[in-house]
Structure 1
Amino acid sequence: MSCAGLLLAGCSSRADEGAVSVAVIGDKDDPFESGNRLSYAGQLVREATSEGLVAMDETGEVVPAIAERWIVTEDGLSFFFRIRGSDWPDGDELDAASVKASLERAIQSLEGTTLGLDLQKIDEIRVMADRVLEVRLRGPMPQFLQMLAQPELGLRLDGQGTGPMRRLEGDEQMRLQPIAPQFRGLPELRAWDDNVLDVVISGIPAQRAVDAFRNGELEIVLNGRMSSFPLAETGPLSSGTLRLDATVGLFGLSFRNARGLLATAERREALSMAIDRPRLLQAFNLAGWVPTTRIVAPGLPGDRRAAGERWTGQSLEERRGEARRRIAEWTSSAGTAARLSVSLPQGPGSNLLFEKLAEDFASIGVTLQRAQPGEAADLRLVDRLARYAGARWFLNQFNCDISQPVCSPDADVLVDQSLDAPTADEAANLLAGAEGAMNDAEVFIPFGAPIRWSLVRGGVGGFSENRWGRHPLFPLAIAPIS
């Protein structure tokens, strides 16, 4: 990974302190995860200690990692990666054959996950020369490099990755130390040790993280979400401290059963029709948050449903009138009141969201109750960042093989057919059809884009807002090198 873009002004005052203190909102064990279903903190540590063929920088752009450069064939089907001259931590040569084996192990370990479904786009991985690897796709995928930059595809040999940071032993906190470039097959940089910092990362509940930041105990807080957003707006936090990512992803309600009131697509649609999306997060005072009725985020490259917002010919009251009719018909035939429960994460933001959802559902005759933590619920909040800018990521989240109580086999067939589409245009048409099939099945109630916020102390460099909500740790460790 090139360091030139990471040597940011404003970091020099930190160099004497030895470490950057980073809290990730979550559980204390999150940074220490070792599996393939990683929390946000686990992803940060994985990508810091086990880089993949490519990586993502602080702006959300794909940059070289183990592959120092690459070329793409004109048809978009083959990516040729030139492996940098380096070694694995145990001293074995980092060559194309060992990289191939590690990448295939990583892909195999992700079977049965939504990222595993995304990776089905890969047709074959071949060693072309000692330091040249080809990854061939089943069909063109403009977002392939972005998918390849995911933390779970960090390459390891015997459980150890090549950096760009190494893990030092710790208990409740994890300390990560940047590895000098010359030990990673990169040119040596003068005065490296004097101009880099360790990163100390810990998992902390939201309120504690905000309090510690306010008290000067932390320099960065990451992974703020809707549920904790009001905490970031309280207290003596300067306007330049709160950083918001204009993210892409899923934010809405999934169905946890298909019984009773939720047994038909028509009644599931009634719930979605009832929501006043422009006012849903009004209490959060979020400038620029754009609601949507779509499963796939509007405006992605190749979007074939650009004007595809639902119910555009109906006013909110007209939608609610039809929804009330459907609910009343069910309550009459079932002989019982319409009641549903929803599972939301703990936090003041969730409290505000629940109040608005309960009000919207009450407008069509449905009583909404909030489930207690760990209690089964009819509806559950989905708050998930997209891995890449493609419709297939959104659609794979509701694939029937990933144990969705409500899904669309017809949509899955179209998504599968898109893998072998000979052109990006044909793939986009198939994916648009799949989104339509999921709408018909009413598999999800979308709200809009996820909320992601961070707290960053003034003078800290290596942080930038980006649409993927990814804030890698290595850039935070680099101070200016003179």
Structure 2
Amino acid sequence: MPLTRSRRRAVAPIAALATLLAVASCGRRPDVGPVVASVIGGAPALADRSRSALPTGDRVLNDALAEGLVRFDAAGQIEPGVAERWIVTDEGMSYIFRLRNARWPDGAAVRAGEVVALLRRQIAAASNNDLAPYLSAVSSIVEMTPEVIEIELSRPRPDLLKLFAQPELALIRARPAGGAGPFRRKEERGAALLLVPAVDPDRDPDEARPAPEDEVLLRGERAASAIVRFVERDSDLVVGGTIADWPMLQAANPAPANIRIDPAAGLFGLAVARRDGFLADAAHRAAVAQAIDRTDLATAISPEWVARDTVLPEQLDSALAPAVPLWATIPVEQRVAAARSVVARWRASNGVPRLGIALPGGPGGTLLWARIARDLYAIGIRPVRLAADDPAADLRLIDRVAPYDSARWYLAEACVACDATAAAAIEAARLADTLPLRAQTLATADAALANDVAFIPLGRPFRWSLVALRLRQWQPNTRAWHPLNRLRSDTN
């Protein structure tokens, strides 16, 4: 059977990868020397990106060379960063942090005044930092002493520390550029950066100094190159894998023990980007949602991938369990027939509906497209695949890991073009001045968004890594985050 154009696009990179792997060496990966790590994407760069989104490589490097007041450990839990300890007072409205004896790359001591200035800029209302909309409850950041700062809130936020642990809030000094993170940049080795552990000013001089095995050689590269490097045993770690590159990994067929999939919390689904034409009616949007066979889609990806038909993965801080969309109450065998009837009524007066769907590139994007397009064709819709950033898209894939565990993040990120009722309910949740009121308004917003069918959930974000057995501290976690100083041993 001749290949269609879309199938050729999917097969080509996998075939090229298979050719490269045919000549892969079979040498044993040694447990000596620096950890060699690849991040899928461009070359990592350290920069104060408080006014723009951070690509994965930059987030990894920010977390290594800099850090925020707190950071994530190997299990995705909060541990000290620039702050060595903290207390929460005034019923959750005040966070007081005591800074550790941290040093900037030039040896200068990290002091509260400079930390306050950096944090204020990062979370300013005008900032384009992706986290800024979720930090609006911060009312003041003040220096109490050279070692102590206080963050006051206008509304309680129990998950504040998880936001401050994100690499977007790493404290990066402009001159000289750098941060007080667990590593320092030593040198460039071709396209890779050699990172060495930062000197602990409180370290006993008689203690053993960091060994070469505590260093990390970090590079950013295309998924195919990173996978080949790992399979050839020339690297120990590949991070940043998504569903877009997953078929390449399957073609490479690395040892199952090296394939790790995170139970990532977040959003994976189609957001309604345009509410005109066929998608102007909630019943039509529901027809699209109920036509997609999520079980088949999950099976095509991985048995470890979890499909979902609600915006919220669980109750979180909402007063109620996740709102179940009306179409999900229809028996599975009846959903497609009901969706086909809805589309048929539209076609009788308006012709075949055409929907542009923005999806990522790569073979994984093609796999998604094949399943979604098949299901939409089956109910009488003509889907058209568009690039992920095409502004003409009617539906756009949202694939994001949640930075913290609040229903508001899920609802706000899913509301790309939701109606005024849902948008107002989400805003009311942001402004709620007590946790019980916030829980009630979040439940209202969740129900409004489900009724509006402004987001079509498909599953949880799919995040994979390749991990050498020497990296014994690596752990899967819901943040899908793996700091470079928490890879080899508990002593890092």
Q: Give, in angstroms, the shift of residue 195 of structure 1.
A: 6.0
Change in Cα spacing, 1:453 to 1:155, as seen in structure 2 (3 Å) is same
Match of 1:39 in 2: 55
CA distance, structure 1, for counterparts of residue 46 and residue 431 of structure 2: 38
Q: Give, in angstroms, the shift of residue 65 of structure 1.
A: 0.9
Q: Give, in angstroms, the shift of residue 61 of structure 1.
A: 0.5
Change in Cα spacing, 1:189 to 1:205, as seen in structure 2 (3 Å) is farther
Q: Is 1:101 aligned to residue 117 of structure 2?
A: yes
Q: Equivalent residue of 1:271, what SS?
A: helix
Mean Cα deviation higher: 188-197 or 64-73? 188-197
Q: Is 1:456 aligned to residue 467 of structure 2?
A: yes
Match of 2:195 in 1: 176
Match of 1:163 in 2: 181
Q: Equivalent residue of 1:397, what SS?
A: helix
**2:272 counterpart (242, 252, 255):** 255
Alignment check: 8 A CA contact 1:178 1:196 kept = no
Match of 1:4 in 2: none
Give 5+ residue unaligned stretches, structure 1: 1-11
Q: Is 1:408 aligned to residue 404 of structure 2?
A: no
Alignment check: 8 A CA contact 1:197 1:479 kept = no
Q: Give, in angstroms, the shift of residue 339 of structure 1.
A: 2.0
Q: Give, in angstroms, the shift of residue 398 of structure 1.
A: 4.2
Q: What amino acid is the match of 2:141?
A: I
Q: Per-residue displacement from partner, 1:360-397 (whole Å, max 9, x unpaired)?
A: 21232112232357654332221111101111111221
CA distance, structure 1, for counterparts of residue 170 and residue 80 of structure 2: 13
CA distance, structure 2, for counterparts of residue 47 and residue 329 of structure 1: 53
Q: Equivalent residue of 1:466, what SS?
A: coil
Change in Cα spacing, 1:438 to 1:397, as seen in structure 2 (3 Å) is same
Q: Give, in angstroms, the shift of residue 74 of structure 1.
A: 5.6
**What are the residue-to-residue correspondences of 1:35-434 with 2, within 5 Å?**
35=49, 36-73=52-89, 75-108=91-124, 111-158=127-174, 159-170=177-188, 172-182=191-201, 190-194=207-211, 196-287=213-304, 289-300=305-316, 302-306=317-321, 308-311=323-326, 312-334=328-350, 336-371=351-386, 376-398=392-414, 404=416, 406-434=417-445
CA distance, structure 2, for counterparts of residue 187 and residue 134 of structure 1: 31
CA distance, structure 1, for counterparts of residue 95 and residue 464 of structure 2: 35
CA distance, structure 2, for counterparts of residue 326 and residue 337 of structure 1: 12
Match of 1:439 in 2: 450
Change in Cα spacing, 1:110 to 1:466, as seen in structure 2 (3 Å) is farther
Change in Cα spacing, 1:189 to 1:42, as seen in structure 2 (3 Å) is farther
CA RMSD, Structure 1 to Structure 2 (Å) = 2.6
Q: Per-residue displacement from partner, 1:253-274 (whole Å, max 9, x unpaired)?
A: 1233223222233322221121
Alignment check: 8 A CA contact 1:195 1:480 kept = no
Q: Equivalent residue of 1:396, what SS?
A: helix
Alignment check: 8 A CA contact 2:325 2:451 kept = no
Change in Cα spacing, 1:480 to 1:13, as seen in structure 2 (3 Å) is farther
Q: What amino acid is the match of 2:475?
A: S
CA distance, structure 2, for counterparts of residue 110 and residue 161 of structure 1: 23
Alignment check: 8 A CA contact 2:297 2:368 kept = yes
CA distance, structure 1, for counterparts of residue 395 and residue 433 of structure 2: 38
Q: Per-residue displacement from partner, 1:137-174 (whole Å, max 9, x unpaired)?
A: 22222211111111111112324311221223436322
CA distance, structure 1, for counterparts of residue 256 and residue 384 of structure 2: 36
Relative to the length of structure 2, the TM-score reads 0.86
Alignment check: 8 A CA contact 1:181 1:189 kept = no
Alignment check: 8 A CA contact 1:199 1:477 kept = no
CA distance, structure 1, for counterparts of residue 164 and residue 461 of structure 2: 22
Q: Give, in angstroms, the shift of residue 456 of structure 1.
A: 0.7
Change in Cα spacing, 1:39 to 1:244, as seen in structure 2 (3 Å) is same
Q: Give, in angstroms, the shift of residue 338 of structure 1.
A: 1.7
Q: Give, in angstroms, the shift of residue 451 of structure 1.
A: 0.7
Alignment check: 8 A CA contact 1:31 1:174 kept = no
Alignment check: 8 A CA contact 1:60 1:468 kept = yes
Q: Equivalent residue of 2:264, what SS?
A: coil
CA distance, structure 2, for counterparts of residue 319 and residue 32 of structure 1: 49
Mean Cα deviation higher: 442-451 or 231-240? 231-240
Q: Equivalent residue of 2:257, what SS?
A: coil
Alignment check: 8 A CA contact 1:82 1:132 kept = yes
Q: Per-residue displacement from partner, 1:424-466 (whole Å, max 9, x unpaired)?
A: 2221111121122222332211111011111111222331111
Change in Cα spacing, 1:188 to 1:65, as seen in structure 2 (3 Å) is farther
Q: Give, in angstroms, the shift of residue 344 of structure 1.
A: 1.9
Q: Equivalent residue of 1:68, what SS?
A: strand
Alignment check: 8 A CA contact 2:270 2:457 kept = yes
Alignment check: 8 A CA contact 2:141 2:149 kept = yes
Alignment check: 8 A CA contact 2:75 2:476 kept = yes
Alignment check: 8 A CA contact 1:275 1:360 kept = yes
Q: Give, in angstroms, the shift of residue 129 of structure 1.
A: 2.6
Q: Equivalent residue of 2:408, what SS?
A: helix
Give 5+ residue unaligned stretches, structure 2: 1-28
Q: Equivalent residue of 2:91, what SS?
A: coil
CA distance, structure 2, for counterparts of residue 148 and residue 162 of structure 1: 15
CA distance, structure 1, for counterparts of residue 187 and residue 280 of structure 2: 51
CA distance, structure 2, for counterparts of residue 304 and residue 186 of structure 1: 48
